[in-house]
Chains A and B, each alone.
Chain A
Amino acid sequence: MEEQAIMTGLEKVFGEVFHDSVIQLKPDTIVSDVEGWDSFSHIRLVLAVERSFKIRFTTQEIQSWANVGDLCKTILTKTR
Chain B
Amino acid sequence: MFFNSIQYILFLPAVVILFYLTPLRFRWLLLLAASYYFYMCWKPEFIVVIVVSTLINYSSALLMSGTSVQKRKKLIMISTLVINLGLLVIFKYLGFIAEMFQTIFQSDHPSRISPALLLIAPIGISYYTLQSLSYIIDVYYGRRDAEKHPGIFALYVAFFPLILSGPIERSTHLLPQLREKERQKLHSVNIEEGIKLIIFGYFLKLVIADRTSIYVDAVFGNLPRHGGITFMAAIVLYSFQIYTDFAGYSAIAIGSARLMGFDVYQNFNRPYFSSSIREFWTRWHMSLSSWLRDYLFNPLAFSFMRIFRKERYLKIISPEFLTYAFAAFITFFICGIWHGARLTFMIWGSLHGIYLIIERAIDRKTGKRLLNIFITYIMVLFTWIFFRSDNVHDAFLIIRTIFTHPGKLYIPFDSDVVAPVYAVLGIVILLLIEIKREFFDLKFSLTKNRNEYVRMITYGLLIFLILYLGVFDASQFMYFKF
**Does A77 have its Cβ within 8 Å of any Cβ on chain B?**
no
**Does A4 have its Cβ within 8 Å of any Cβ on chain B?**
no
Q: Chain A binding site: helix, strand, loop or mixed by DSSP?
A: helix
| Interface set, chain A 44-76, CB cutoff 8 A to B | 44, 46-47, 57, 59-60, 62-64, 66
Whether B297 pairs with A39 at a CB distance below 8 angstroms is yes
**Does B472 have its Cβ within 8 Å of any Cβ on chain A?**
no
Residues of A within 8 A of B299 (CB): 59, 63
Question: With contacts A39-B293, A42-B298, A47-B305 known, is A64 near B142, CB below 8 A?
Answer: yes
**Does B301 have its Cβ within 8 Å of any Cβ on chain A?**
yes
Whether B143 pairs with A66 at a CB distance below 8 angstroms is yes
Whether A64 pairs with B293 at a CB distance below 8 angstroms is no
Question: With contacts A44-B320, A47-B320 known, is A39 near B143, CB below 8 A?
Answer: no
In the complex the two chains form, what is the Cα distance from A29 to B479 in whole Å?
36
| Interface set, chain A 7-54, CB cutoff 8 A to B | 38-40, 42-44, 46-47
Residues of A within 8 A of B37 (CB): none
Q: Which residue of B lies closest to A48 (CB)?
A: B320
Residues of B within 8 A of A63 (CB): 141, 298-299, 302
Whether B302 pairs with A46 at a CB distance below 8 angstroms is yes
How many residues on A have C-beta within 8 angstroms of the other chain's C-beta atoms? 15
Whether A43 pairs with B305 at a CB distance below 8 angstroms is yes
Partner of B303, one of A57, A59, A66: A59
In the complex the two chains form, what is the Cα distance from A59 to B299 in whole Å?
7
In the complex the two chains form, what is the Cα distance from A44 to B301 in whole Å?
11
| Interface set, chain B 303-336, CB cutoff 8 A to A | 303, 305, 309, 319-320, 323-324, 327-328
In the complex the two chains form, what is the Cα distance from A44 to B299 in whole Å?
15
In the complex the two chains form, what is the Cα distance from A39 to B297 in whole Å?
8
Residues of A within 8 A of B360 (CB): 40
In the complex the two chains form, what is the Cα distance from A42 to B300 in whole Å?
13
Question: With contacts A60-B141, A64-B141 known, is A40 near B324, CB below 8 A?
Answer: yes
**Does B278 have its Cβ within 8 Å of any Cβ on chain A?**
yes
Residues of B within 8 A of A60 (CB): 141
Whether A46 pairs with B305 at a CB distance below 8 angstroms is yes
In the complex the two chains form, what is the Cα distance from A3 to B82 in whole Å?
40
In the complex the two chains form, what is the Cα distance from A50 to B396 in whole Å?
47
Whether A64 pairs with B143 at a CB distance below 8 angstroms is yes
Whether A40 pairs with B320 at a CB distance below 8 angstroms is yes
Residues of A within 8 A of B142 (CB): 64
In the complex the two chains form, what is the Cα distance from A42 to B323 in whole Å?
11
Q: Which residue of A lies closest to B294 (CB)?
A: A63
Residues of B within 8 A of A39 (CB): 293, 297-298, 301, 324, 327-328
Q: Which residue of B lies closest to A41 (CB)?
A: B320
Residues of A within 8 A of B309 (CB): 47
In the complex the two chains form, what is the Cα distance from A72 to B461 in whole Å?
55
In the complex the two chains form, what is the Cα distance from A59 to B327 in whole Å?
14
In the complex the two chains form, what is the Cα distance from A11 to B170 in whole Å?
31
Q: Which residue of B lies closest to A17 (CB)?
A: B320
Q: Which of the listed residues B303, B305, B360 has the most CB atoms from chain A within 10 Å of its own CB? A: B305
Question: With contacts A38-B278, A39-B293, A59-B303 known, is A47 near B298, CB below 8 A?
Answer: no
In the complex the two chains form, what is the Cα distance from A64 to B301 in whole Å?
15
Residues of A within 8 A of B293 (CB): 39
Residues of B within 8 A of A47 (CB): 305, 309, 319-320
In the complex the two chains form, what is the Cα distance from A66 to B294 in whole Å?
12
Min C-beta distance of A5 to chain B, whole Å:
25
Min C-beta distance of B167 to chain A, whole Å:
18
In the complex the two chains form, what is the Cα distance from A56 to B141 in whole Å?
18
Residues of B within 8 A of A59 (CB): 299, 302-303
Residues of B within 8 A of A40 (CB): 320, 324, 360
Contact with A along B282-302 (1 / 0, CB 8 A): 000000000001000111011
Q: Which of the listed residues B309, B320, B324 has the most CB atoms from chain A within 10 Å of its own CB? A: B320
Residues of A within 8 A of B327 (CB): 39, 43
Residues of B within 8 A of A46 (CB): 302, 305
Q: Which residue of B lies closest to A40 (CB)?
A: B324
In the complex the two chains form, what is the Cα distance from A39 to B294 in whole Å?
9
Residues of B within 8 A of A66 (CB): 143
Whether B278 pairs with A43 at a CB distance below 8 angstroms is no
Q: Which residue of B lies closest to A45 (CB)?
A: B320
In the complex the two chains form, what is the Cα distance from A62 to B190 in whole Å?
38
7 interchain residue pairs of minimum CB distance = A59-B302, A44-B320, A63-B141, A64-B141, A40-B324, A43-B320, A43-B323
Q: Give 5 CB contacts A-B under 8 Å.
A: A39-B293, A40-B324, A40-B360, A43-B320, A47-B309
Residues of A that sit less than 8 Å from B by CB: 38-40, 42-44, 46-47, 57, 59-60, 62-64, 66
Residues of B that sit less than 8 Å from A by CB: 141-143, 278, 293, 297-299, 301-303, 305, 309, 319-320, 323-324, 327-328, 360
Additional A-B contact list (5), CB under 8 Å, known A43-B320, A43-B327: A39-B297, A40-B320, A42-B301, A43-B323, A47-B319
